[in-house]
């Protein structure tokens, strides 16, 4: 199976680029962050402290996270409910980052990710795809951008959706997630030694896609 890994911090352009590439190549796009978001959402709904490793781990045996593709786009189901509309809220982003530091959560979700990658040609985006989930993926990318640029993009995305939030607060959340995600002990956000790295700060999404495709040796 063809597996393409794209890792990097929030707002680097991973998911937008990965979606376009999946469509161009006719392969599956797997947004692994959505899985961590679903677990974070469940903890929030149950009122469980998202950093309480013991209680979160105890919740897992009764937690079912599944992916379904509806009209070509990924939908995430939590205990049978399609929670896709609820996982993008800011508080869910932070909750996802918190629960993703808990090894039991990662073990459960990584198993599901590897299973999908084993059975499908796909492009996956996340934090640890190249280093931990699929260390032998054919193509590995690590994309970054300054925190300010990433916050600007995320702020625009949220305000376009009608969310009332300040740029400063988005920047603060991005910085906090960067720190959380890159300092956790188990499978932190990190460039794989053999990943191709580039900075997207001054690039348009078209340029990012072109750069990725050029590396995958594909005609535009």
Task: Output 38 or 209, the one with its CB closest to ligand DC.
Answer: 38
- Minimum Å gap between C-beta 194 and ligand DC is 18
Minimum CB distance to ligand DC smaller for 156 or for 214:
156
Pick between residue 130 and residue 203 the one whose CB is nearest to ligand DC: 130
Cα 162 vs. chain centroid, distance in angstroms?
22
Question: Least distance to ligand DC from the beta carbon of 168, Å?
Answer: 19
Beta carbon nearer to ligand DC, 169 or 218: 169
Q: Which is nearer to ligand DC, 184 or 203 (CB)?
A: 184
**Cα 76 to chain center, whole Å?**
13
Closest distance between ligand DC and the C-beta of residue 90, in Å? 11
Asked if residue 14 lies in contact with residue 6, where contact means CB atoms within 8 angstroms, the answer is yes
Pairing of strands 3-7, 139-144: parallel
Provide the binding-site residues for ligand DC, judged by CB under 6 A: 10, 32-33, 36-37, 93, 96-97, 100, 126-129, 177, 181
The distance of closest approach from Cβ of residue 138 to ligand DC in the complex, given in angstroms and rounded to an integer, is 18
CB of 219 to ligand DC, least distance (A): 29
């Amino acid at each position: 199976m063809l597996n393409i890994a794209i890792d990097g911090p929030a707002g680097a352009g991973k998911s937008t680029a990965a979606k376009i590439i999946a469509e161009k190549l006719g392969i599956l796009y797997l947004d692994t962050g959505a899985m961590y978001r679903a677990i974070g959402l469940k903890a929030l709904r149950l009122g469980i402290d998202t950093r309480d490793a013991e209680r979160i781990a105890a919740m897992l045996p009764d937690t079912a996270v599944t992916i379904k593709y509806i009209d070509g786009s990924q939908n995430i189901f939590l205990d049978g409910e399609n929670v896709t509309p609820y996982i993008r809220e800011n508080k869910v982003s932070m909750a996802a980052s918190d629960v993703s530091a808990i090894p039991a959560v990662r073990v459960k979700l990584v198993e599901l990710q590897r299973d999908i990658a084993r059975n499908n040609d796909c492009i996956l985006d996340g934090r640890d795809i190249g280093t931990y989930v699929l260390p032998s993926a054919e193509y590995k990318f690590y994309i970054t951008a300054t925190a300010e640029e990433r916050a600007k993009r995320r702020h625009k995305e949220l305000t376009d959706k009608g969310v009332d939030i300040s740029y400063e607060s988005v920047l603060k959340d991005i910085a906090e997630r960067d720190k959380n995600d890159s300092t956790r002990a188990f499978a932190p956000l990190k460039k794989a030694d053999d990943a191709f790295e580039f900075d997207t700060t001054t690039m348009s999404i078209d340029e990012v896609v072109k750069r990725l495709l050029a590396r995958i040796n594909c005609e535009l």
